[in-house]
Amino acid sequence: MRGRKHLEAGVTLMELMIVVAIVGILAAIAYPAYTQFVIQTNRTDATKTIQIFAQSLERCYSANFTYLGCTVQGNPVVDGSKMGTPNNYYTITFNIPDAQTYSLVATRAAAPQTLDNQCATFTLFSTGQQTATDSSNNPNTPVCWGSN
């Protein structure tokens, strides 16, 4: 009787191995989904920032009828100016060739946690057109920006 109580109170090695196997299977399913979610969140860092910067340029244009001499977040921008996104996953380059047009290009940072081969660059033009390319410079706009 005494030995029987002792066996019922403990956990056998087999039970422990079953629990470890179940946890391993759940982790194998959850980790890829988590990684994909992180990549999509990093894309949002680029697209959201580009749109905020474009809004600043449009406000300046509506007041001055030119994109030249505008400021974004208190910083004057000229052709070739660069600013980082809030999380520094992308760098935004301002292309302002003349008073009437601009394009904003977000280029992926080289940090390992942001390696998103599907969406290496995002571009937003003053006309509202959105484009994106993968790491091989192939067009990939629907995946990166969503459906247009």
Q: In the numeric block, which tokens belong to residue 125? A: 């033009």
pTM over 0.85: no
pLDDT band for position 56 (50/70/90)? very high
* Mean pLDDT score across all residues of the chain: 85
Residue 147: is its pLDDT beyond 70?
Answer: no
Burial class (CB in 10 A: 0-12, 13-18, 19+), 72: buried
For the segment 28-48, what is each residue's pLDDT rounded down to a tens digit? 998 888 888 888 888 888 899
What is the number of H-type helices and E-type strands within the chain?
Answer: 3, 7
81, 93 in Cβ contact below 8 A?
yes
Arithmetic mean of pLDDT, 106-129: 80
70 versus 112: the higher-pLDDT residue is 70
Pick 69 or 143 by higher pLDDT. 69
How many folded domains does the chain comprise?
A: 1
Using one digit for the tens of pLDDT, what is the confidence trace for 8-21? 667 888 889 999 99
In terms of residue numbers, what domain contains 63?
2-145
pLDDT computed for residue 20 by the predictor: 93
Q: What is the largest CA-CA distance in the chain?
A: 93
Average pLDDT over residues 79-96: 90
In sequence order, the 6+-apart residues with CB closer than 8 A to the CB of 106 are 46, 47, 49, 50, 85, 90, 91, 92, 93, 121, 122, 123
